[in-house]
Chains A and B, each alone.
Chain A
Amino acid sequence: MTITMMTAHFPALLAAGTFATPALDDYLRILPELVLSIFGMIVMVIDPLLDPERNQKPLGTIALIGAIAALGSAFIMAGHPGTAFSGEVQVDSFSIFFHVLIIAIAAVVILSSYEYMAVQRIRAGEYYGLILFGTVGMCLMSSAIELVLIFIALEISSISTYVLAGFRRRDAASSESSLKYFLLGSFATAFFLYGVAMMFGATGSTSIPVIREALLAGQSGLLAYVAVAFMFVGLGFKVASAPFHIWTPDVYEGAPAPIVGFMSTAPKAAAFAVLLRVLVETKAPGWFWLLWVSAALSMTLGNLGALVQNNVKRLLAYSSIAHAGYLLAAFAARPDLGVSAAMFYTASYAAMNVGAFVVVSHFANQGEKYVTLEDYAGLGRKSPALAAIFTFFLMSLIGIPITGGFFAKFYVLNSDLKSGLVGLAIILVLNSAIGAYYYLRIIVMMYMREPRGDVPVTTIPLAAAIAMAFCVAATLALGIFPGRVLDYTTQSADQIVRGDAPPVSVQQIVIPLEAAPR
């Protein structure tokens, strides 16, 4: 490996005159991001014009329209596959899948925030604006194929969630949550960035297709291993996988409940998409044992931690660590089986977990007073509908048939067994059994205990009802007709595993640097 290797992939100094300004296709390939940014700015501009006491509903509606418009534009984007902006982003079925998923999560979270905002008295303009802008970052993460862009998108998604975690300004726990998340998150991002720098040192490029070629050529040495490990630390933090999970319970406990639903699914889905691109598409060295150990640890520590929790938000935080472990178990399987299982899992986890948090944020009431297990006692008698919906989501989290959670776990287990990872499969099954215990504890509490008189139960407002209905429908659909989604994920997984990118755009052709002496 000589200077040629090092410099040949440096994207600079292309032949003069080939610089094309971005064409219409380039913009169409980031259309959802553009739509979300525009609506985020509309929210920010209209916010000061409205009465601060009554601005929650109109601003929320604008944000919701923005999310739905972005969802529509994702389908326009789907009609223009290919790379854009000199090979920075790539539209393929993989990125379209994550775009639709992330924007749908954002829309449901906005719907579920309607009531919450009014009850908790939160500044609405920045809240909805940050959700929309954060979604921009997460969407870009799923389509970026260049590490610099991935880093900036990751920062957008992280910083917006750091701030959103601190929105309950009158509660010290929320400030603690925000500050803890910010400090630890920045530390983790620094690891990711260091990994990117080392990957550039090892392969001479930050573009994932070029890194893939360089690594397949097999001359990258030990440096590439260290680079992958460092990037995994950064991304492992973002998805709350062990041993980088310590922050999760504290942050989820203090953050506003609808935001916990958001940040336990959307940024995680985006980070998993990046992880898939970085580890699987580049055929990164040494990824197997990283994922195996992290998956086993996350499942075990998450489930054991959840057993002793009394606060429902903390319990669901530990459960989200465990679910990150199940997902990583799919990653550890053979890529052609595991990637599609992981994508399916991400979607069904998003549906059931967002749904669960819609229920929690409705029930929590003013100042999030009612979040302990005892508060849920007798809910089945006081509000049968709410208890039934919550039970349904918990059943799905356990993985009981006819819910999306069942097929999600089934496919992960299937991919692990077919790849010969019997050990990991056994750990997964044992952990599912432990998991069933603490989810059932909530259900038992709701149906078999006497109701406590002092916990008020309010009627479910329309917006929250729509959000819950959507999550129930999505979870059911994934549980009864998993075939279509699975076909789609299998097809996009093939693309990722084979790594056949659409034709490379003109700007990306690299010229050896020796041709341009300096």
Chain B
Amino acid sequence: MLHLILFLFFGAICVAGAVNLLVQSHPINSALSLIVVMASLAAEYLLLGAEFVAAVQVIVYAGAIMVLFVITIMLLNAGAEQHTKGSRVAILIGVPGALIGAVLVAWTLLTRGHTGSVAMGALPGSPQDIARLLFHEFLLPFEITSVLILIAIMGAVVLASRPEAIARRHTESHQPDPLPQERQPAPQLVGSGKEH
């Protein structure tokens, strides 16, 4: 019983944090809300008997990734964002659509989704189990993730590099670039970190 109460409690905190993340206008507040989301997710994992995943969640997400986010915000010296009004169509269709989707999923899971239940801790969650899964059944996905990380790094290098860097070298031998050089504050850099 206590278990269930704790589970629901952390679930509610997680959702509240996620909503707050979207509502806040200052990036640092959003980042702090994200920590709440990550930490309460870790608690949920722990309650489901996945100790290892919970620990990794705290170390990697609540720890490393969040520090990266905060430092990025600091370096960009990002101030409060101005909220755009958002299009009417998006609100008229999007909000009911999201609600219907959420209700549909909740209804399915609550009433029609009973395909079976599993006792706590019945599914493998210990470090040994995970290692066995990772290096045997899921060896190929695990290894191929290295390609994924490599292209993410290449992408960050390309999108964050200054277009002038190449242009200058070229102007020495070719005619100058006729196009105006648009400067972008490299929002992709933050994004490509968020992807993982």
Residues of A within 8 A of B (CB): 1-3, 5-7, 10-14, 19, 22, 30, 33, 37, 44, 52-53, 84-86, 88-89, 121, 123, 126, 129-130, 133-134, 136-137, 140, 146, 148-149, 152-153, 155-156, 159-160, 162-163, 166-167, 169-172, 175, 178-179, 182-183, 186, 201-204, 219-223, 226, 366-367, 507, 513, 518
Contact = CB atoms under 8 A, between A and B. Distances in A.
Contacts of B154: 44, 126, 129-130, 133, 163
B114 interface: yes
B26 interface: no
B81 interface: no
Contact of B150 (A22, A133, A153, A203): A133
Interface residues of B, number: 56
B151 interface: yes
A28 B123 CA distance: 33
The 9 A-B residue pairs whose C-beta atoms are closest, nearest first, are A169-B163, A163-B155, A222-B112, A6-B116, A172-B182, A85-B140, A223-B113, A12-B124, A88-B140
A171 B182 contact: yes
Contact of A183 (B119, B136, B158, B191): B191
Contacts of B173: 53
Given A88-B141, A152-B141, A170-B181, A13 B124 contact: yes
B151 A134 contact: yes
A44 B138 CA distance: 28
Q: Which of B121, B141, B177 has the most CB of A within 10 A?
A: B141
Nearest to B183: A172
A130 B188 CA distance: 17
A22 B143 CA distance: 12
A513 B152 contact: no
Contact of B145 (A10, A85, A152, A171): A152
B151 A160 contact: yes
Contacts of A6: 115-118
A178 B188 contact: yes
20 contacts: A12-B133, A14-B136, A30-B140, A52-B169, A53-B173, A86-B137, A86-B138, A89-B140, A121-B166, A123-B166, A126-B154, A130-B155, A137-B148, A156-B148, A159-B192, A179-B187, A179-B191, A201-B115, A223-B113, A367-B178
Q: Which of A136, A160, A201 has the most CB of B within 10 A?
A: A160
Interface string B45-78: 0000000000000000000000000000000000
Contacts of A518: 121-122, 124
Contacts of A203: 115
Contacts of B108: 222-223, 226
Contacts of B145: 152
Contacts of A223: 108-109, 112-113, 115
Contacts of A226: 104-105, 108
B2 interface: no
Contacts of A182: 188, 191-192
A202 B114 CA distance: 8
A85 B151 contact: no
B147 A156 contact: yes
B5 interface: no
Nearest to B159: A166
Nearest to A226: B108
B122 A178 contact: no
Contacts of A156: 144, 147-148, 151
Contacts of B174: 121
Contacts of B1: none
B169 A3 contact: no
Contacts of A136: 144, 147
Nearest to B154: A126
Contacts of A137: 147-148
B195 A170 contact: no
Nearest to B133: A12
A3 B188 contact: no
Nearest to B173: A53
Given A149-B140, A163-B155, A166-B188, A13 B122 contact: no
A53 B159 contact: no
Contacts of B137: 11-12, 86, 88, 507
Interface string B11-50: 0000000000000000000000000000000000000000
Contacts of B104: 226
Nearest to B121: A518
